[in-house]
Amino acid sequence: MTQRGVRKTRGRWRQSMKIHIAKTAGFCMGVRRAMNMTMGAVKKYNPPIYTFGPLIHNAQALDILKERGVSIINHIPDKTTAAVIIRAHGVPPKIKHQLAGAAQYLLDATCPRVIEVQTIIAAHAARGYSAIIAGDPDHPEVVGLLGYAKNRGHVIDSIEALGALPHFEKSIIVAQTTQNISFFNDVKKWAAAVRPHYKLFDTICNSTSRRQAEVTEMAQFGDIFIVVGGKNSGNTKRLAQIARQSGKPVHHIETEAEIDIHQIKAFENICITAGASTPNWVIQKVVEKIESAI
């Protein structure tokens, strides 16, 4: 039997075999909003329609958008009558201003949770604060957040990098919205002990928190993890990382084609989770392949 959630279920094929699907697997609010906005633009505006950078980090979802006439651009276009959509990860304010001047129709699909972090950084930068961002330096969300720090932004991806920063008179600490909760907790402990005058903001989104907590919960009874999502998706990679910390085997896949049934059929409890940009139909195909082969 396949169960959405972490409760144990009775086996359907043989008595010992169970599949557990994380309740949190699949699109988060921000990704769903970005996809709906883009699909709405397809109906409202004449082609071509562009997204500035990949809208989300999932190749299968992007293929669907491409089939509907949505193309990806990575440069500021000349004056255009096309609709341009800002990716869910957001962009620096300078880029947003340039896009507004170039596109006749500009839609902002930035996740509302990311906008909250942008606002915090911008408000404090205007008052002379530095901004320390716990995140992946090359991730588009982090690149966008840095743009709001007025050249006083610093990205750290380890406690060592945090300790190597100069001592700021005024600074805030925020996190990439999909950051590892355990790492950010370590950052907060460091700040409390070493820089207690820094202002801390818990900016990891609730969806990320719930997903990571559920993986930890599933690890208490799971024998193997299958993590479904883009190989370039930060939040998906972190789910795989947290699952590996349990010592259980972990397979990070993008589609059902990557599943090796022989590697998983011997396990009793198969746990499936997925990143915030993974479509439900991709997850369902993974489940169906397992079901059909066992």
pLDDT digits (tens, 9 = 90+) for 164-177: 999 999 999 999 99
| pLDDT in the model for residue 47 | 86
**Residue 8 scores a pLDDT above 80:** no
Instruction: Give the residue-averaged pLDDT of 72-91.
Output: 95
Report the pLDDT value the prediction gives residue 262, as an integer from 0 to 100: 86
| The CA-based dihedral angle spanning residues 215, 222, 157, 85, taken in that order and rounded to the nearest 10 degrees | -50
Res. 14: pLDDT tops 80: no
- Confidence band (pLDDT; 50, 70, 90) for 16? low
Q: What is the mean pLDDT of residues 89-116?
A: 97
pLDDT value for 7: 38
CATH 3.40.50.11270 in the chain is located at 30-110
| Predicted local distance difference test score (pLDDT) of residue 13 | 40
pTM reported for the whole predicted model? 0.91
How many whole angstroms separate alpha carbon 282 and alpha carbon 254? 8
Which CATH number describes the domain made up of 2-27+207-293? 3.40.1010.20
What is the pLDDT confidence band of residue 11, given thresholds at 50, 70 and 90?
A: very low
Give mean pLDDT, residues 17-39: 95
Residue 244 has pLDDT above 80, yes or no: yes
Fold category of 113-200 in CATH = Cobalt-precorrin-4 Transmethylase; domain 1 (3.40.1010)
Name the segment(s) of the chain with CATH classification 3.40.1010.20: 2-27+207-293, 113-200
How confident is the model over 24-48, as a mean pLDDT?
95
Is 15's pLDDT higher than 50?
no
pLDDT at 169: 97
The CATH fold assigned to 30-110 is Rossmann fold (3.40.50)
Percent of the chain with pLDDT over 90: 87
- What pLDDT is attached to residue 291? 87
Q: Answer yes or no: are the C-beta atoms of 20 and 218 closer than 8 Å.
A: yes
According to the model, what pLDDT value does residue 6 have?
40
**Is residue 117 pLDDT above 90, yes or no?**
yes
| Catalytic residue annotation | 141
